[in-house]
Each structure stands twice: as C-alpha cells, then as structure tokens.
Structure 1
C-alpha cells in the first residue's frame, strides 16, 4: 500500500489546515473531477486525484475502490490494484449509492474488480474466488455484467492451460536503435512493401504521430507528421493502405470519435479529412482498416443496433468513390460484448481483431477468422500466448501477408511503456511437417517467415505472480543496435522534426513573475558524502503537472540518485498564498506526489 512506503514529504503552507467536516467542497470538486477523468480515459490523472482524496479521508472504501479501478487501467500498475481493492472489499455495502461523493462504502462490483486484479496478475484461483463471490452477492447486478463474469471464470481456466503450452510467437524489436527518443510507442501501421511505418509515441507532455521509412534493412530516424496532418489533440493512426499513400486516423472528441484519412502528396501528408456519414455518425468510430485493393473499409462503431457495445462493420467503395452503407459483420465475428481494432489481410480473406466475447485468456484477446469459398467467416481462433495475455490485448497488425505482424509490446525493463516489435511465428521441429500450410498448386508447405525451434524446449518459467505486462515481455533476444554512423546515412538532409520538437520542448520557459510560478525545493543528500544539494522544481501557477522545465530538473535528480544509490531526497511542497489554505495544501501534496511518482517510474524506490 502506498502509505506503507516511506518518502519524506514535508508540506508547508502559510496557514494551518483544519477540515471542518469530512466532505468539504474541495473533496467534492476533486471527486467529480477524478470521475470525469476516469470516464474519459485519463486513468493516471484520475488515480492521482483519488489518491489525494485518500489523504483527506484515509480508509474510505469508495475511494479505495476507485484507486484500484484506475490502477487496473494503468500499464504496470496491475499489482498495485490488488492492494487497494483488497482494502476496499472490506467495506462493500449492499446499499451503496452510485455517484455520490458522500458514499464511503464500496460497491458490490469491487469483488469483480478484485477478481480482475488477480486475473491480470495470473493468480487464477484467487481471481475465480472473487468472481464467484461477486456472482453470489451481486445476483441483482446487471445481467450482462454477470454474463461477462462467467466468461472471465472460464478465461481463468483457459489462461492457466495456455500458459503451460509452448509460445506460438516471439517478438523482435523494430526501432531499438531509437529507444532513447521514443518513450512509449503504440498503434503501428505498415505499408504493403514493409518500407513505411507509422506509429504513435506517448511523450510526457503530448502524443505524436511519427513516421519512419526503410532502406534495405535499416529504418530511418522517425519524424513527427502531426503538423502535416493538421490534427491536434487525441489523434491516433489506425491503418495504412497497401501502397502506403493513404493513412487512416481516429480523432477523439469529448463525446465521440471519428475516422479521418490523409493522402501522401509527394513527401508530405495532406490535411486529414473526416470520412462521410456512412462511416462517421453521432457515435464513436474507434478504428478502421483498409483492404489491400482499397475498396473495403473494416471499422468499429458503437452505433445502436449492433450485437454489443462495439461491433465490427464493413463498408464498400461505390462507383462514385464514396463509402457505401456499413454492414455488420455478423454474430460469428461480433459478440454481445466488445470487438476492437480489426485488420484485414490477404485479399480480404483473413480478419484479425480483438474481442471480449470469444474464448479469451481474459479481457480483450486477439483472434483471427478466415473467409471460406462460400463467403462465410470461420469461428475465430485465439492467437495464443504471448500475443494474448490476461489483460486487454489489441491493435495486433498482421501486416499484409499475415506472417509479419507488428505489435506494441511492453519493454522488459519498464512494463509501463511499449516498444514496436515484429511478431515472428515460432515453428518447432517436431511440428514443422504438420503445421506448415500447403500451397494449393504444388501441395508443398508454403514458405513463411518463421523461427524454427528445437522440439525439446526448456520448461516455461512460472509467472503466475507476474503482471500481465511482464508476461507479454519479448521472448526473443534483442536485435543488434545499428551503429550511429549507419543510421545517420539514412536520415534526410533537413533537420528531423522529432529533434525540433525535443529541442523546442527542452528549452526553459521565459522567466515569469514570482507570483506566476511556484516551486518545490528538493534537498538531496548522501550519507557517504558530507554534501547537500538544494534545487527548485518550477511549476506553473495553480498547476501540479510537470512542465518541461520541471522535467529537466527532476531528470537531474533522477540521474543523481541512479548514479548514487545511497542518496536520499526530501521533498518539501509549497504553494503561493493566492488560494485558500485547504487548496494550497492539496496543491502542495499533488506537486510533491508528481515528483515522487516520476522518480519511482525511473526505478527509484519510494523509501529513498
């Protein structure tokens, strides 16, 4: 539990604080602010606010439940969720009042969430116990939620079996030589020739869509293309056409999301435009995959009338070049639950997608279905471990020949961030003769990009206590790093846009009046050296998020503490006198917590 970890936070404000009653206006404001952030997908921000509420009301089961639910959504925090939810489940109330900031009990759903926490950490017996408890106590819960719980119990049993089988795939890094510039990557899309790769990079201050091109076996340094696309805010790449000239994107608004397309004009992308009313509506369209011939678009939508909350649809291009009415893919593909991130490959004959409702290991798993000669889709097949884990697995891009997949996989040394990997199918010697698909003309096994393994494999390491992201760590040895001299030869003559962005963000902001900037002094000391360093971390007025200037200072502290393991840091939170005393107390705590969390993500234990 966080409160059990030692970190010295001395918070000073100009006046002492006295909470007149447990549920103040400030508590209410933060509560609903956090709930909004959770509902809109900003889980880390929501978690930070819920933790602040625990400071005001320790032991509040409702807030503990929300901390646990948020942790489950944050990569690398699945184990932490168990701690919060185990405490919250002690306060489960059958008279729980949903949506009330005055509620101190926890909902019956806490048992389900605790089951999920155990499930994602591969603790299947504990997961089944809590799923079963939820179904016993929550018999009056939403029927679909109870049905989904039954699926999760079966998923636990299935996951336990799949983890004992030999891995079907291994991962090989694609852009390892640029890791220092790419903190966390996702949504890889690739051209048919395999020479254009576009993906999303999650920087601390913003998300960037980046593009890299391949010459021979070497990828160029990625460049940012947001300005060319004319897209700001929550915009993600969804798919790239076979010829690499059309990029499909999803843009998230406050209440819904739409699909856009941009076209390559020379060496630059055109400004993205929204697709027509047969694709986009007053609903959320969250993904799109263009077929090889460019005449079919497979996409996800939560439009009413579907099998579940999100279904997969297909639209065909008409003779006028417009997308026609969308058709639901049917009950073989879509379930009463959620389907996401479809990718069509191999001339419209194989569909890869993620699903909650099919036979998964837990949450969303990646499946594939084949179209037979009668135009009927086959029963979806689970891709297996390690492509699938007990968590939500989606955006598996099979490439254009279904044997060169691209996938965002958690880093081995930092499960909170992802890196782009090529998915290599494993072929074991004792299975080679029976598993290779046959060519219809020659009757001989088809050639495929695969790694052959000896029949006798070392037994799998038991990782039942590991987090889902750890389980999905790459099993292949990393590819050799390409020498910088070779990489430089492939870079364009003009300055790379990624470097322009990084350099611009790294510049310190111009000096502002003291009243416009608050600072947290950080005192760093080492028991092995009679020295002490006092530094200030600048924050914007009435804000606790780390801006670029703050990140520079905290990075220095992190580097110092990493290089000197015996060094300890004492954080002292401050705020100016413009706000109320209670507001300043919370703001000071939030600022100190932001720094502590950043240092912890850098591998520095909180007890330091």
Structure 2
C-alpha cells in the first residue's frame, strides 16, 4: 500500500495517494515512512499545518531525530520561533546530523534571531490589486516601469500553457490613478518561444529581457534587447552577446536609468541554489564589457535574484534567501558606496517580507510606490497578479524627475544630432552625466529631486549653451521639458552664462560657477579666432550709477579670470550695462532674476 501511494503521488493522483496514506496511518500508526511521505508532500505544497501534523506523527512513531530539522523549519515559517528553536536544539545535538543539515539549522537559527526582533517593528503594508484591466485568471508577473512612471510592462503566461510560452504586455497609468486595458506589445518582441523577466529603459525605448532555449543562444537562457521603432512596434530581439551571455543561465535584467549599466542574475541553471547578481557597463564604443559579480556585500553562497536598480542609480533592490530574513526569499536593498562596492543589505521588513517567497519588486520614480506579483492573496483573480503598495516612510526612496530635452539650431529650428552634453550637480560641483543628443536631437535624464543642476551643450560650429534648473523635492507627474537652442558661431551671437553666480551686491564669483568658467575658457581656446565681449547686467533696484559699476566689475572679474588662465586680453572686452538692457519686467522677482545676468557676445571673428 505504501508503494502504491508513492506511485500515485508520482502520477499526480493526489486524492488517491492521500487516501492510502491516511489508511496506513490508521492501520499502522508506528509506520514512520507513511507519516514522513505525507509530511513531505504537504511541505512541498506549502500546507504547513498538515505537514506539521504528519511529521509530528512520525516523531511519535519513533522517527529519527533528523526529522526535527524539517519540523523546526515549519514552525519558523509559522512564526513560532520558540518551538522552532526547541526542535533545532534536538537536531543539532543529533550525532548523525549531516554537514548540510547543520548548515541549514544554523541558517534558520540566524533567521530566528533576526526575525524575533524585526517582526516587532513591522512596516506599513497594504497592497492593492491593479484590477481587471491588468490582472485576470492567467499569470501576470515581473513588472517593469519607465522613468516617468506611466508605462508598465509585464510578463504574462496563460494558466494552461507551459512556462516556455510567455509574452509581454503593457498598460499605462491613467490620470485618475487607474490603468488602461492591457495590450500585448506590438512588433517582433513576442514570439512562440519563451520571453520574460524584462527591464524597460528609463525612456521607454529599450526592453532587455530573458529568452530561453533559442537556437542562437549561448546557454539555457540568455539576455536579449528589443528597440522601439518609429511606428511604435518593437524590433526583432538581439542577443546581447558573449560579454553578457555564457553557457550558464542569465536572467532577470535591470537596466540602470542612464542606460549604461546592466544588472542581472547568473547561475548554472534556473534552479541553481547559488545564483549571484552580475553587472556589465557600456564602454566608449557602446559595447557591453565582460560581466563581473557585483562587488560588496550583496552576493552570498545562497540565491540572490530579481535585481532592480532604482531610478537614483544608487539603490539596488533584490531578493535573497541567505541574508537574515523571515524565510525563503526576502526583499532587500543595498546602497552604492563611494568606491563602487555595495553596502550591507537592509531587509524591507515584515509584512512586506514573510515566510513565503517574495520576488519581482520594483519601485516607482516617486520613491513611495512599489509593485510586485503574488499568487497568495485573497483578492487575486486566479494565478499570479500584479499589486502595488505605498512604501513605509522608513524605506521610501528619493523621488526622481524625468527630464526630456531636445537640441535645435536657433536659426533654422532643425534638430541637432550628437551634441555633446554634460550635467553637473551644483550642490557639490560633481559631473553626474556626460553623453550626446540622439540622432533625432533628443536626450533625457532621470534626476533626484530637491537639487539644482547645471547643464552644458556644445556642438562644433556653435556657441556652447549653459543652463541651470531645479528639480523640486516632489517632482511633477509630467516630465520636465528642456529646449536647447544652439546659436551658430557668428558675429553678434549672444548667450547668457546661466551657471555664473555672484554673491549678492558683489562681484565675488561663487564656487559653484567653476564649471561655467571652465566652459568659457575651453570655448575660447577651441576657437582662437573669436573675440568676445563679457557683459554684465542688473535689475532696476539700486541707482543707475551703482548698477553700472556693479555690472562692470562683474564683467571685469570674468575677464580677469580668463586672462589669468591664458587668454590674450586683446580678445576680451568687459562691459557693464547696469539696468539699461532688461530682457523682462522688473516688476516681478522672476523678471528681475532674468535681468540679473552675465552674457558672452561674439564681437568679431578674425
């Protein structure tokens, strides 16, 4: 009868197998194998109470002390930590305990020590189902967001199909807070093969995803890229190549907001008990460098999975079954250190993390909203559903803003391709981004809020463009739009030196003007045939003579800096205009701020 029960379980005749095991337990209560077989089945099916009942029955019937480890794990999963420790004590005193078993027992004990304290300091967690426009009786999982928080892409699989038949769908966040009806991504990205576990670039134009068992693949699963085409469809997938993909298993990508670093998971197989997070960066030729394990404290001897790099490009969320937690896979985050390594991970807390497996967490650019998938909640529609929840204040992230820009010719309005762009954080003077405008003249950034930034755009044959802007602490729901109008290098062209700052009522240049001064110096050295006028302007407050003297001194300070750094004085003129050339009304603070400016004007080309 016992062998028959084993065969029925193997053939998935679950009712028949359990019926025979129940009968064995009644007729032969001291037959430990029947109790253990029933317990093993219920443990695999996550039926914790039934598994405990069967294992305890086995122990009463005289089963070996090895079973105390399984009982301890089940009590741990029920948050009954004192009972779990009692059974661990018995198992760890068992002379025949295996090294692997003792290692597992030590891990459970470490988790108990962590969870006993952490569970008393629970975080706020109230998940909301995304509703019938997104979820249905099929499986929806692996959410991915664009940096404006409006495009949500996810993987879907029908409940009655094999795992190899996955496809990508998308929905858009509506102004009222709901989501548009889901649609399959158009184009060539979806195939009859397996594709899933995707990451969307910040601008929503690239999808990096996992494709398995493909003829051109390097291993069981590889990473691929698909690109948004002008007609709104997605291009045929391109394998990312041997720098990323190997004969092993590569999956679960996360592309950094600047598009220059790719995080992903590598293991021997998808079921490997030891998977690590790797990363690769784009080189100067925009080729991926050979992937390396993530440096620092994130990777362990256990499983690390589902990395998500937040939009600040400094915070990595991931799941792990080895760092101290509440059992199985928990969510953690780690911060990038100054030396490029990653800090000791922080558990997101209970009940975001539970004794069940958590995976596939992402954070929206507002830093407050998280998305994840689950198949264990009462309000689900069937299989895995997508949910969102508000992060507890203790684990919220810095909000970011999505900045859209375009570079155009100021004279003819045509877009300028491959314009060189540099971005600085004015709070510390550090350069945080360098790159070029695309072929269509567009560029974009994802920037932390509550900061002031300086931007420089240049292109051969044009005056450089400088601009500063502030990203508010609570960024707008819509993208910040920036239009850069580059002026040709010709006599009479004028630019405002937007990132040149003086102390109030002074011609003392502030330290955060260093990048602007360097840019002027660079322009003059690159264009030795150009003569320029540096002109100072004020608003209308103060007397005319005071304003003229102040503006003259400010212009002269800039000229003195340039001469000191190697520019021939004959190429430079300093002129103070006071308040005689306003560009806006002096009746408002905004207008007065525009009038207080320093300009660079080309007065001759020799």
Q: For residues 372 and 448 of structure 1, what CA distance do their matches in structure 2 show?
A: 25
Gaps of 5+ in 1: 1-18, 35-47, 95-106, 450-608
- Determine which of 318, 323, 337 is the counterpart of 1:358: 323
Q: For residues 74 and 227 of structure 1, what CA distance do their matches in structure 2 show?
A: 39
Higher RCO, 1 vs 2 (CA within 8 Å, ≥6 residues apart): 1
User: Shift of residue 448 of structure 1?
Assistant: 8.6
Matched, 1:222 2:182: yes
> What pairs with 1:517-528 in structure 2 (closer than 5 Å)?
none
Matched, 1:424 2:419: no
Q: Deviations over 1:504-549 (max 9, x none)?
A: xxxxxxxxxxxxxxxxxxxxxxxxxxxxxxxxxxxxxxxxxxxxxx
Q: For residues 323 and 356 of structure 2, what CA distance do their matches in structure 1 show?
A: 14
Note if contact 2:451-2:472 (Cα within 8 Å) is conserved in structure 1. no
Note if contact 1:170-1:426 (Cα within 8 Å) is conserved in structure 2. no
Q: Deviations over 1:308-345 (max 9, x none)?
A: 81111111123443322111113511112111111112
Match of 1:257 in 2: 221
- Determine which of 60, 82, 89 is the counterpart of 2:52: 82
Match of 1:130 in 2: 87
| Structure with the bigger percentage of strand | 2
Distance 1:82 1:445, change over 3 A: farther
> What pairs with 1:197-216 in structure 2 (closer than 5 Å)?
197-206=152-161, 208-216=167-175
Matched, 1:239 2:195: no
Larger mean CA deviation between 268-277 and 294-303 belongs to: 268-277
Gaps of 5+ in 2: 26-30, 397-447, 454-470, 477-606
Match of 1:275 in 2: 240
* Matched pairs, number: 388
> What pairs with 1:370-389 in structure 2 (closer than 5 Å)?
370-389=335-354
User: Shift of residue 302 of structure 1?
Assistant: 1.7
SS at match of 2:317: strand
User: Shift of residue 403 of structure 1?
Assistant: 3.1
SS at match of 2:277: strand
Distance 1:439 1:230, change over 3 A: closer
Match of 2:502 in 1: none
Distance 1:181 1:376, change over 3 A: closer
Distance 1:448 1:403, change over 3 A: farther
SS at match of 1:346: coil
SS at match of 2:108: helix
Q: For residues 215 and 154 of structure 1, what CA distance do their matches in structure 2 show?
A: 45
| Structure with the bigger percentage of helix | 1
Distance 1:61 1:370, change over 3 A: same
Q: Deviations over 1:54-80 (max 9, x none)?
A: 5566458657656545544557x4444
Note if contact 2:304-2:318 (Cα within 8 Å) is conserved in structure 1. yes
- Determine which of 136, 139, 142 is the counterpart of 2:99: 142
Q: Deviations over 1:71-124 (max 9, x none)?
A: 44557x444443444445567866xxxxxxxxxxxx93x433333322222222
Distance 1:229 1:81, change over 3 A: farther
> What pairs with 1:275-314 in structure 2 (closer than 5 Å)?
275-302=240-267, 309-314=274-279
Larger mean CA deviation between 124-133 and 362-371 belongs to: 124-133
Q: Deviations over 1:575-597 (max 9, x none)?
A: xxxxxxxxxxxxxxxxxxxxxxx
Q: For residues 396 and 70 of structure 1, what CA distance do their matches in structure 2 show?
A: 29
- Which TM-score applies when normalising by structure 1? 0.55
Q: For residues 61 and 187 of structure 2, what CA distance do their matches in structure 1 show?
A: 50
Q: For residues 117 and 92 of structure 2, what CA distance do their matches in structure 1 show?
A: 24
SS at match of 1:336: coil
Q: For residues 237 and 34 of structure 2, what CA distance do their matches in structure 1 show?
A: 41
Note if contact 2:334-2:343 (Cα within 8 Å) is conserved in structure 1. yes
Distance 1:222 1:416, change over 3 A: closer
Matched, 1:156 2:112: yes
Match of 2:604 in 1: none
- Determine which of 313, 328, 335 is the counterpart of 2:300: 335
Matched, 1:186 2:141: yes
Match of 2:377 in 1: 411
SS at match of 1:167: coil
Q: For residues 227 and 62 of structure 2, what CA distance do their matches in structure 1 show?
A: 53
Note if contact 2:186-2:234 (Cα within 8 Å) is conserved in structure 1. no
Q: For residues 387 and 221 of structure 1, what CA distance do their matches in structure 2 show?
A: 27
User: Shift of residue 413 of structure 1?
Assistant: 4.2
Root-mean-square deviation (CA), in Å?
Answer: 4.0
Q: For residues 23 and 423 of structure 1, what CA distance do their matches in structure 2 show?
A: 48
Q: For residues 279 and 212 of structure 2, what CA distance do their matches in structure 1 show?
A: 21
Q: For residues 275 and 67 of structure 1, what CA distance do their matches in structure 2 show?
A: 46
Note if contact 1:187-1:237 (Cα within 8 Å) is conserved in structure 2. yes
The structure number with the bigger radius of gyration is 2
> What pairs with 1:546-557 in structure 2 (closer than 5 Å)?
none
